[in-house]
A and B are shown apart, each in its own frame.
Chain A
Amino acid sequence: MSDNALNTGQTPPAEFDRRAFFTKIGLGSLGIAAAGTIVFSYEYLSPNVLYEPSAIVNVGKPDNFALNSVTMDVNSGIYLVHAEEGYFALNAVCTHLGCLTTWNQDLDIIACPCHGSKFTRTGEKIEGPAPKPLPWLKTWVSDEGDLTVDRSTDIPPLQYLRI
């Protein structure tokens, strides 16, 4: 009954609703904490340092590659092709789902064992589910005179390296 005596029937002004204020503060902090947790989780789950092989591969002297030859480097997953027009490197990883393709000397094609995509030696698709041609990779001759390929940098096709 003492409550009634104190309240005298007047409701407090709405803008000073302490309960709603603390509810908002509480929910707001929980929201910020949740957003922070998502960001931190994402950051934690993406590695900052990778112990993967370097994207830049030294494939040796240009003279090692005979004219009209296609040479596969299995470890780095690239083809080094010496054509009439010059040298170029192709990414050997199939553009469909990432399997390693192989060079077939007799049929003069590059073929993927997983789902049957076939490519010409310049990377153009002949048939199969691959959505894109095999990308050409940035290739240059190092200061030591070695052919060097950057697997992470694609270049437009038909840019031959003349030596």
Chain B
Amino acid sequence: MPTKADQVIEQVRASRVWRSVFRSGTGNSTLHRALAIQQNIFLHLFATKVRKRMVRFSATWYLGTLTLGTFLILVITGVLLMLYYHPSVPQAYADMKDLQFVVSSGLFLRNLHRWSAQLMVFLVFAHMFKVFYRGAYRTPREFNWVIGIILLLITLLLSYTGYLLPWDQLAYWAITVGSNLSSAVPLIGSKIHFLLLGGNQVNANALLRFYVLHCVILPLAAILFIAIHFWRIRKDGGLYVQQSDPKAQAAAENEPAAKEAR
């Protein structure tokens, strides 16, 4: 017996405006539900059909999804912080202090950005350990593991470049030490150091370069590789489901649902 609310929702979904946006149409058939996923730009990266045991909490602990969650929080709070932050010397430090003590909700946004950043690094490692110890990196998912390593490096670089932006003593010396590490690269070490800082010492050029890397280049790279990472889940046969019996594992790898999903 459909309730009043169900009828209203059904009417909205049948309306011309709704149909112009979501073209899959009304109905609960398998086809309609598959089309709803396939015809949505955000969802079409994923498989139209998944096994229930693939999306159980115990299978993944949702660590990858949670990592994406922290990334989205970081993008939103980061863009808002950019509205008050000038990447110049010594204004950067004053802006950071203003965000903490003068701007309404500034302290909340800055702390949210900071804690999410810490949490994201933690979650990325947790996700990697979970994937590693379940053996989910093995064929046919080995390339997605490589994409994951690239995403790990991007995450660490985002963390590192963001560290300089408050322009306090901790930031200054951390980046001095961190950038000197790059000098240890054979032959081209000092050149990398010079290009990274835009000079010989951590100064205005370095602050601007780290700002552009942190706010534009690295996030765009992250979004690109995240999209590939998610798309490859479908292409590699869906989320990994562990079976205690090797034969059942082999069967699960070749079962029709996994094939269809590609």
Contact = CB atoms under 8 A, between A and B. Distances in A.
A45 B198 CA distance: 7
Given A45-B198, A47-B198, A98-B176, 5 more contacts: A46-B195, A50-B200, A97-B180, A98-B179, A99-B176
B200 A52 contact: yes
Contacts of B194: 46
Interface of B: 173, 176-177, 179-181, 194-195, 198-201, 203-205
A114 interface: yes
A114 B199 contact: no
A45 B217 CA distance: 14
Max chain B C-beta neighbours (<10 A), residue from A45, A97, A98:
A98
B176 A47 contact: no
A52 B197 CA distance: 12
A51 interface: yes
Contacts of B199: 47, 50, 52
A42 B194 CA distance: 11
A11 B171 CA distance: 71
A52 B181 CA distance: 21
Interface residues of A, number: 11
B177 A98 contact: yes
A45 B200 CA distance: 13
Interface in A76-103: 97-99
Majority-rule SS of B interface residues: helix
A51 to B, nearest CB: 7
B204 A97 contact: no
A97 B205 contact: no
Interface string A96-134: 011100000000000000100000000000000000000
A97 B204 CA distance: 20
B140 to A, nearest CB: 33
Contacts of A46: 194-195
Contact of A51 (B173, B177, B180, B204): B204
Contacts of B198: 45, 47
Contacts of A45: 195, 198
A42 B192 CA distance: 10
Contacts of A52: 199-201, 203
B85 to A, nearest CB: 22
A102 to B, nearest CB: 13
B217 to A, nearest CB: 12
A46 B191 CA distance: 9
A114 B201 contact: no
A98 B176 CA distance: 6
Contacts of A47: 198-199, 205
Contacts of B203: 51-52
B205 to A, nearest CB: 6
A98 B180 contact: yes
A47 B204 CA distance: 12
A99 B173 contact: yes
9 contacts: A42-B195, A45-B195, A45-B198, A50-B199, A50-B200, A50-B205, A97-B180, A98-B179, A99-B176
Nearest to A41: B195
A3 B219 CA distance: 56
Contacts of A99: 173, 176-177
Contacts of B195: 42, 45-46
Given A46-B194, A47-B205, A97 B200 contact: no
> Would you list the 3 A-B pairs with minimal beta carbon distance, nearest first?
A98-B180, A97-B177, A97-B180
